[in-house]
Structure 1
């Protein structure tokens, strides 16, 4: 009588958009008699970040419920399991064929292959805590801050700052809202001038004030008071909110696998196959990946397909044939529930306004499709 082949673990670390996409793709491909598929995250739920600004501004518990998705139903037909815990160390095997994850509580979990989708650390109101109770308190605290402030200053007119200002204007038609931005136009040079100009005008039409081509150099000790700009100008605000971009969650990777896996901006060096350079049993997707493009869910979903296919090839001992070559720079920007703008890099570059943005994103924030993906 033959001895059954022991099952091995395929682990996806991080349950954000990239991690869930990788896990779901693998759940359809893996031989589940040979491999255990395990999704690991430090939270018991995924917070849908495109809904984050609306969550903290409205501080409506019913809306928050629609944007927070527990992981308990993410795997259809039981083709995978979820493990709650914070990973602090990756202990790679000497031959780099697999390894072991070490958790904050001392537990360990072996892996045959690992997909790291650790996401980003967001500043300010999008820095959601881990537990649902803490998250609800956090949302309520930010909602109270926004409600009580008469003069709100946002630092950064990227997508986060702009979308937050739109939600604030929906909720509070008369508050003073100012955004300081380091460039001469909103957003960044990824997008064409004509689109950036249109976006700025759409927000200005809602009485959002911009201070462009200037940088905040000094902040007060609290989240209210006076900020000093590089130009020498001083601005006063009841509430100061940093809405600059996030930073990748990669500190534990450097301490585990070596500083040389990260570039200067702390993104992970990967091959076109999205395999971590010099670590053959570790793959990466999403915000942490070193790739010259904006970090967006659409790109993470595209990377997830590549990672899942190449993991299957790796497990079969075959060459990794799927290559990531980048993704078009599409943006759909909300301006509250009823307005926004979009840029689609097709033909001569399509610049679309409020009607398109409202129909595609501003009203729903894609929550219906995410709910379905999460098995709700």
Structure 2
């Protein structure tokens, strides 16, 4: 492996990053010439998460949003496997590797199963796209950000299809304010999307063959296919029997200090959705976590005093959710907006070009 950027011996410091999502990918990229970096991820690629729902209606979009780790990590070792436990100074993988670290960053986000290879993931999007294309009616279970954005993509691209959202809560998008949720519900109605609130669908009783779904309120929904868009637990089950088991809160999130270090640990950091930072779990915030930790690890590697470390301040509730290709709903510090104006910010390219550039790739 190449020496450190300044040849000052830092290259001997072993940094292991577990998880190749938003935070893990950017952090590994930023640190690859500063330390000996090992990225452990069960898949061979980084997926731009906010492009996923567009990819389900337009699979060609994935050509730019699924990026092999090796394309942006030119000076790091990549282990394509799952981490199964950690000790005081090693990460153990499902394939039997033991990887020693001086510094460790945990970035395993939410528990989410995706194929190991990029080609298989591309194929998955093709299948989803065909499923939507060949259906006259689609049921979406869950009215959080994923369900809302998927409904928006389908309603705009296929206005002739009947789309139904079933959501267990009293309103859509419960993670942001009432105003944004109300505007989104009105938008859905204007696109003839049916929204059933305070109801659930028993997923165990679903048989897609007959196309009939029963809600908890006894309503029958007829749909040719369905997509489940409900929240997933933090990706921390692998830590429950490890040396960090006492650092998990009751929700399965890692408890971190103001420097994003895992509680009681000076050389283990956590970033992104797996942390207990009290803010909305979003990709752009995971990226902010990564930048703070990069700064702090560089300082610590130079022997800086703790008082010099950068502190992370939880962000206020801010979000932009796409509603198809041109519109979006945005909750910003200046207020709540819906329509083409917030859509200009995100909806056309979904920040894919910007994200690729940040990874050092052509936009």
TM-score of the pair, normalised by structure 1: 0.86
Question: Contact (CA 8 Å) 1:342, 1:356: kept in 2 or not?
Answer: no
Q: Offset at 1:105?
A: 2.2
Q: CA offset at residue 22 of structure 1?
A: 2.1
- 2:163 aligned with 1:177: yes
Q: Summarize the Cα distance change of 1:235–1:314 in structure 2 as closer, same or farther, 3 Å threshold.
A: same
The alpha-carbon deviation at position 51 of structure 1 amounts to 0.9
Alignment of 1:1-376 (within 5 A): 7-27=12-32, 30=34, 35-60=35-60, 63-75=61-73, 80-93=75-88, 99-122=89-112, 127-188=113-174, 190-217=175-202, 219-223=204-208, 225-315=211-301, 316=303, 318-319=305-306, 321-346=309-334, 350-376=335-361
Q: 2:92 aligns to what SS in structure 1?
A: strand
CA contact (8 A) 1:220 1:226 kept: no
Alpha-carbon offset, residue 277 of structure 1: 1.6
Alpha-carbon distance in 2 for matches of 1:359, 1:6: 42
Give the C-alpha shift of residue 317 in structure 1: 6.3
On the 8 A contact 1:254/1:261 being kept in 2, the answer is: no
Q: Determine if contact 1:114/1:283 at 8 Å carries over to the other structure.
A: yes
> Would you say the 8 A contact 2:69–2:78 is kept in 1?
no
Deviations 1:127-155 (A, max 9, x none): 53120221122112212221222221111
- Change in Cα spacing, 1:290 to 1:193, as seen in structure 2 (3 Å) is same
CA 1:305–1:375: 2 relative to 1, 3 Å: closer
Conserved? CA contact 1:195–1:351, under 8 Å: yes
Equivalent pair of 2:25/2:46 in contact (CA under 8 Å): no
Q: Secondary structure of 1:255's match?
A: coil
TM-score normalised to structure 2 length: 0.88
Q: 1:375 to 1:218 in 2, by over 3 A?
A: closer
Which deviates the most, 336-345 or 84-93? Answer: 84-93
Q: Deviation at 1:362?
A: 0.6
**Offset at residue 200 of structure 1 (A):** 1.1
Q: Please tell me whether the aligned partners of residues 219 and 226 of structure 1 are also in contact (alpha carbons under 8 angstroms).
A: no
Query: Does the CA contact (< 8 Å) of 2:26 and 2:359 recur in 1?
Result: no
Asked if structure 1 preserves the Cα contact closer than 8 Å seen for 2:105 and 2:268, the reply is yes
- Give me the whole-angstrom Cα distance separating, in 2, the residues matched to 1:92 and 1:278: 15
Deviation (angstroms), 1:258: 4.7
How far apart are the structure 1 equivalents of 2:338 and 2:16? 41
Single out whichever of 220-229 and 167-176 deviates more from structure 2: 220-229
C-alpha deviation, 1:178, in angstroms: 0.3
Deviation at 1:156, TM superposition (A): 1.0
Q: How many residues align?
A: 350
Distance (whole Å) between structure 2 residues aligned to residue 107 and residue 27 of structure 1: 20
Q: 2 CA distance for matches of 1:193 and 1:92?
A: 45
